[in-house]
Amino acid sequence: AAGAAGLVAGGASAVAADRATRDDAGTTALTSIGASAVDFGGQARAHGTPQAGILDPHQVHGHLIAFDLAPRADRKAAAALLRRWTQAARALVEGRPADREDTGSALDAGPASLTVTMGFGRTFFGKVGLTKQLPQALAPLPDFSSDVLDKARSDGDLWLQIGANDGLVAFNALRVLQRVAGDTARVRWQMTGFNRTPGATGKPRTTRNLMGQIDGTNNPKPEEDDFDARVFVPKGGDASSPAWMAGGSYAVVRRIRMLLDTWDHLSLEQQERVIGRRKSDGAPLSGGTETTPVDLEKFTKDGSIAIRGDAHVRVAAPESNQGAAMLRRPYSYHDGFREDGQPDAGLLFIAWQADPMRGFVPVQRKLDRGDGLSRFLRHEASGLFAVPAAAKPDEYVGQPLLE
């Protein structure tokens, strides 16, 4: 799936930009990557202020980590945990050590556009006595026929998405947040991913995935009229979301392994027909350049349809799914090689939407039935998390739910 085409620029602060040029020893950094910082408080939009890590350009390093509450952890303990996480995350995204026990592996690197995004899984609510606040939008995702899900690497009470443009910064944040979880929550699963280094190409916004395709082109764009309605819960909530989710979004997380041995045997032409776009530059097979709108009705000179019936971009498009849309902001992953010799590699697919029933669910149902790409994929893990709006300056993430 996708990348960050059209995502708003991550707000490197003036202070950080200034720091970019010289470090303490007075020497000059080669780039401003380390010194760039994202505002933990998020950027205000029509429906509220979403947490950072949704609209920011995706970073080169990503960690996803899910936790389960300890058996006796109640709502008060959960609130204290979110307060500790928020406090630590605030320091880290500003490039400061989280606390006195911070190991220090992120020192010297600057904040490196670190983001920490926090969410709640369906199972959280019953454990802390908040079932009345459980969003309908957190209804379990349906089973799809091609799912081969590993339950141990799926779901979870709490979820963190960590992204940074430096590997040490990303790991340090992961370690700090796991450590300060203390006795309240223990790690359920963790996954690590990556993207292209920012600034490595003249077209930094649309990255490639491990199948080689430019991925993220036709994402909804923050400047489009219907963007906020598609991605964020409106003020006051709606039929599928209580008011505490206003300005928030739902993250669908799927670990999707790519059957690269099979995929690499296809000719370039076959690969392009499976997607409906050219591999070299991402242009739709109906013509034009990467950003030319896809023409699903177009016929080629020889009378055949330009974009095949089972092409991924046709089956996944809002036009084929009664307008259903989501913002895809994934990481690639590679966890070595399997016993059968195939790469354990693919996409940590993360899709953001105001309601999964108007985003991921109908689209994946359609893909599950008739997508040419699905033959080369295995969905191996799955999660769905409610990600509330950003914390106000003196609050913690999730405070409107937990206080």
Instruction: Output the smallest distance, CB 326 to ligand HEM, in A.
Output: 6
Q: DSSP letters along 1-53, please? A: ----TTPPPP---HHHHHHHHB-TTSPBPS-STTT----TT---BTTB-BPTT
Report residue 300 as tokens: 């080629």
Q: What residue is closest to ligand HEM based on CB?
A: 218
What is the rounded (10 degree) CA torsion for 151, 155, 159, 161?
70
Report residue 35 as tokens: 């010194």
Of the pair 129, 370, the CB lying nearest ligand HEM is at: 370
Of the pair 184, 382, the CB lying nearest ligand HEM is at: 382
215 is catalytic: yes
Instruction: Output the smallest distance, CB 75 to ligand HEM, in A.
Output: 33
Instruction: Output the smallest distance, CB 66 to ligand HEM, in A.
Output: 19
The DSSP output letter for 301 is: T
Could you identify the residue written with the tokens 């990255």?
207
Of the pair 179, 208, the CB lying nearest ligand HEM is at: 208
Of the pair 118, 283, the CB lying nearest ligand HEM is at: 283
- How do beta strands 249-258 and 377-387 pair? antiparallel
Q: Which residues bind ligand HEM (CB under 6 A)?
A: 1-2, 209, 211, 213, 215-218, 254, 256, 258, 275, 277, 294, 312-313, 316-318, 346-347, 349, 360, 363-364, 367, 377
Q: Is 229 exposed, middle or buried (0-12, 13-18, 19+ CB in 10 A)?
A: middle
Distances (CA, A) of 78 to 116, 141, 192, 359, 368: 17, 25, 25, 29, 37
- Long-range contact pairs involving 10-16 (C-beta distance under 8 Å, separation at least 24): 10/36, 10/38, 10/52, 10/56, 10/57, 10/113, 11/37, 11/38, 11/39, 11/43, 12/36, 12/37, 12/38, 12/113, 13/37, 13/39, 16/95, 16/110, 16/111
Q: Where are the alpha helices (DSSP H) in 163-217?
A: 167-180
In this structure, are residues 137 and 370 in contact, taking their beta carbons and an 8 Å threshold? no
Instruction: Output the smallest distance, CB 101 to ligand HEM, in A.
Output: 38
Of the pair 164, 311, the CB lying nearest ligand HEM is at: 311
Instruction: Output the smallest distance, CB 250 to ligand HEM, in A.
Output: 13
Catalytic position from the list 56, 215, 238, 310: 215
Instruction: Output the smallest distance, CB 130 to ligand HEM, in A.
Output: 29
Of the pair 232, 349, the CB lying nearest ligand HEM is at: 349
Could you identify the residue written with the tokens 């591999």?
279
Of the pair 190, 320, the CB lying nearest ligand HEM is at: 320
Instruction: Output the smallest distance, CB 6 to ligand HEM, in A.
Output: 11
The residues annotated with a catalytic role in the active site are: 215
